[in-house]
Amino acid sequence: QTIRVAHVDPDEWTASKKGAAAHIFKNIVEGETDLTVELFPAGALGNEDELVAQAQDNVTQVVLVSGAMSKACPAASVLDIPYTFSSATVAWDVLDGEFGEALAEHCLAQTGLRTLAFGETGFRNFTNGTREIRTPADMEGLKFRVQPIPLYVEMVKGLGGEPTPIAWTELPNALSTGVVDGQENPVGVIYNNGLHKLQKFMTLDGHVYAADFILISDEFFQSLSPAEQAVVARAARVAGNMGRSIQQWGTAEGVNKVQAEGMQVYSPTAEEIAAFAEKAQPAVVEYLRGELGEDAVWIDRLQEAVASTNQ
């Protein structure tokens, strides 16, 4: 049997989190079972939404996606509530613990996709060309490009900035022509796309933590022998950790590099982060409660899980 593994990141394993995860998954599964693993990196089979659809149809068996998951399984969007995780290690504990397991089960029932493990795309941070941002008050009056996703619009509004939804491909233009003053993205994305050359200031506020979902078509998973299932599940957990590590490496390196190239980077204190959270969370939570309907219980379950992890 063949497992087709697809994602939209580059294939190269030293700099690409999903690329690295896919490679180690392939090595483990092929080494320990008779299964064949074929990798389709760099969006060869389609974008994330399409990959999710393909996995639901068992056309592509394993997909590594981030944002697309919450479209198929809306409860997963609670992870996007800003300033939920104070650090990546907290996120790992929550996702690898009871909460992550329960969310995975819920999404399995809803989509037919089994979450084998979580990787990470990283924390998103604000950059701008006008002034250093230490508190929400510093965001007043600044225009920020956001993804055309309502949750991000609500978040920036809550913080006092002016959200401007612009497509990713338009972003460099919009920054250099001054259509917007700032933007928000993970450090790796900022550095790899040269956005630090267009922006003077970055605040490592880590407003949204983006997880990667390593998903397998449950129809396919059930067709495997118990021994194969065990190897596949273990390989995916190793792959998720590999992806997290590569992501952490890239972020740490990126923070140093953007500074070396002239960007001013500010790391807010815990009190300052709390001030950001106080402004941003209520708007987003209210919006999400309206969107999620009965799935809104996942907001509370997440907050409980984070609280007990933080203790």
**Cα 5 from Cα 215, distance rounded (Å):** 10
DSSP one-letter string for 193-215: TTGGGT-SEEE-----EEEEEEE
User: Cβ 101 to another protein, closest distance in Å?
Assistant: 27
Of 46 and 268, the one with the shorter C-beta distance to another protein is 46
Q: Binding residues for another protein, per CB under 8 A? A: 4, 38, 40, 44-46, 50, 53, 57-59, 71, 143, 148-150, 164-167, 169-170, 172-173, 176-177, 179-180
Of 52 and 246, the one with the shorter C-beta distance to another protein is 52
User: Cβ 75 to another protein, closest distance in Å?
Assistant: 16
Of 146 and 306, the one with the shorter C-beta distance to another protein is 146
User: Cβ 179 to another protein, closest distance in Å?
Assistant: 5
Q: Which token pair is 276? A: 């950001």
**Cα 79 from Cα 209, distance rounded (Å):** 7
Of 150 and 160, the one with the shorter C-beta distance to another protein is 150
Of 43 and 160, the one with the shorter C-beta distance to another protein is 43
- Separation of CA 272 from chain center: 23
Handedness of CA 178, 180, 181, 185 (dihedral sign): negative
**Cα 4 from Cα 107, distance rounded (Å):** 21
User: Cβ 254 to another protein, closest distance in Å?
Assistant: 19
According to DSSP, residue 141 is labeled T
Helix (H, G, I), strand (E, B) or coil at 146: strand
Q: Which token pair is 41? A: 């990196």
Of 59 and 88, the one with the shorter C-beta distance to another protein is 59
**Cα 146 from Cα 281, distance rounded (Å):** 17
User: Cβ 173 to another protein, closest distance in Å?
Assistant: 6
Q: Which token pair is 88? A: 């990546």
User: Cβ 166 to another protein, closest distance in Å?
Assistant: 8
Q: Which run of H or of E encompasses 131?
A: none
With beta carbons less than 8 A apart as the criterion, state whether 206 and 124 touch. Answer: yes
Of 76 and 306, the one with the shorter C-beta distance to another protein is 76
User: Cβ 177 to another protein, closest distance in Å?
Assistant: 7
